[in-house]
């Protein structure tokens, strides 16, 4: 029977670099990290229960529990199924890694399902870039990811909802990482892109795998074949691209930035990100004047064209 040292799960908010990380890991000849399977997230949904009710929780564990099935009797065959997909995809490669970003939205129900059976790689990215990138993703898809949409309900501004979702999940994942200690490796997306050899080397050491890091990176971008439902642009890239510093500034309106920076400040500092100054917003009179000037410029431009 395989041990947890041959099974890994990547944890990270959507648009935090999980797809790049997966591609780099898959570049090692002993490691299989396929595109998204969504099987683990589905297992989390299957095991989820309605808890805010009087009496027993409502869900499959409680329902079958009342009929004499222990929780592990329910989880074991489900675990065999979702692990089996990964093992089949891995083929001759002895180590597999599951990467589906939406797993984090079900981590509470997945934790007892996975604990003791896998190890974890936890990746974090500057939340301002995460929010901007998720806005781009939603625009390209024509909708938000359903799990993410459910977590952003209650906010009338998309960027603020996304930031609150990032804060919620990051706090949950920080606590999760704390509970799993030596079984969880933490890294930042920015460190991975700025110093990939060192960051990837640390991951492979955590996994107990000897690696020629430069060869692994080269192999990661020369492989073809499996295309997943993650970042479609990753299949068009041929090298690791360092993101533009403060790239979010051109993608987030100042008004939005002024609302979400204070929300994330504490967690940004915790994860080593400099908290930018909150953009100064114009007063009412200035805003009206700027609006009228912009409207006039637009009219003049239309006349000239």
- Residue 253 pLDDT level (bands cut at 50, 70, 90): confident
Fill in the DSSP letter of residue 246: T
**Contact of 243 with 129, CB cutoff 8 Å:** yes
Mean pLDDT across 15-19: 94
Specify the fold of 4-243.
Rossmann fold (3.40.50)
**Domain map of the chain by residue range?**
4-243
**Contact of 138 with 50, CB cutoff 8 Å:** no
38 vs 240: which has the higher pLDDT: 38
Question: pLDDT, tens digit, for every residue of 175-208?
Answer: 999 999 999 999 999 999 999 999 999 999 999 9
Give residues with Cβ within 8 angstroms of 199, minimum separation 6: 187, 191, 192
**Contact of 251 with 136, CB cutoff 8 Å:** yes
Q: Is the pLDDT of residue 233 over 80?
A: no
């Amino acid at each position: 029977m395989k041990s947890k040292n041959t099974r890994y799960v990547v944890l990270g908010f959507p648009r935090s670099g999980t797809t790049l990380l997966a591609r780099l890991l898959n570049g090692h000849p002993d490691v299989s990290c396929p595109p998204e399977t969504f099987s683990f997230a589905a297992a989390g949904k299957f095991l989820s229960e309605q808890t805010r009710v009087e009496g027993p929780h409502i869900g499959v564990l409680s329902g079958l529990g009342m009929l004499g099935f222990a929780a592990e009797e329910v989880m074991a065959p489900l675990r065999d199924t979702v692990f089996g997909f990964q093992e089949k995809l891995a083929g001759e490669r002895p180590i597999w890694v599951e990467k589906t970003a939406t797993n984090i939205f079900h981590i509470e129900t997945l934790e007892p399902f996975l604990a003791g059976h896998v190890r974890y790689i936890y990746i974090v990215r500057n939340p301002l870039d995460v929010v901007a990138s998720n806005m781009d993703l939603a625009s390209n898809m024509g909708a938000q990811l359903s799990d993410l949409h459910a977590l952003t309900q209650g906010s009338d501004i998309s960027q603020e909802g996304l930031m609150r979702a990032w804060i919620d999940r990051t706090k949950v994942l920080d606590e999760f990482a704390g509970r799993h200690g030596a079984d969880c490796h933490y890294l930042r997306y920015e460190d991975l892109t700025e110093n990939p050899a060192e960051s990837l080397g640390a991951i492979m050491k955590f996994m107990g795998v000897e690696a020629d890091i430069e060869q692994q990176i080269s192999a990661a971008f020369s492989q073809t074949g499996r295309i997943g439902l993650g970042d479609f642009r990753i299949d068009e890239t041929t090298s690791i691209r360092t993101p533009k510093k403060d790239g979010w500034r051109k993608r987030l309106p100042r008004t939005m930035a002024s609302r979400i920076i204070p929300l994330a400040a504490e967690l940004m500092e915790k994860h080593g990100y400099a908290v930018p100054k909150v953009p100064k917003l114009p007063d009412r009179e200035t805003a009206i004047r700027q609006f009228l000037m912009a409207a006039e410029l637009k009219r003049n431009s239309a006349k000239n064209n």
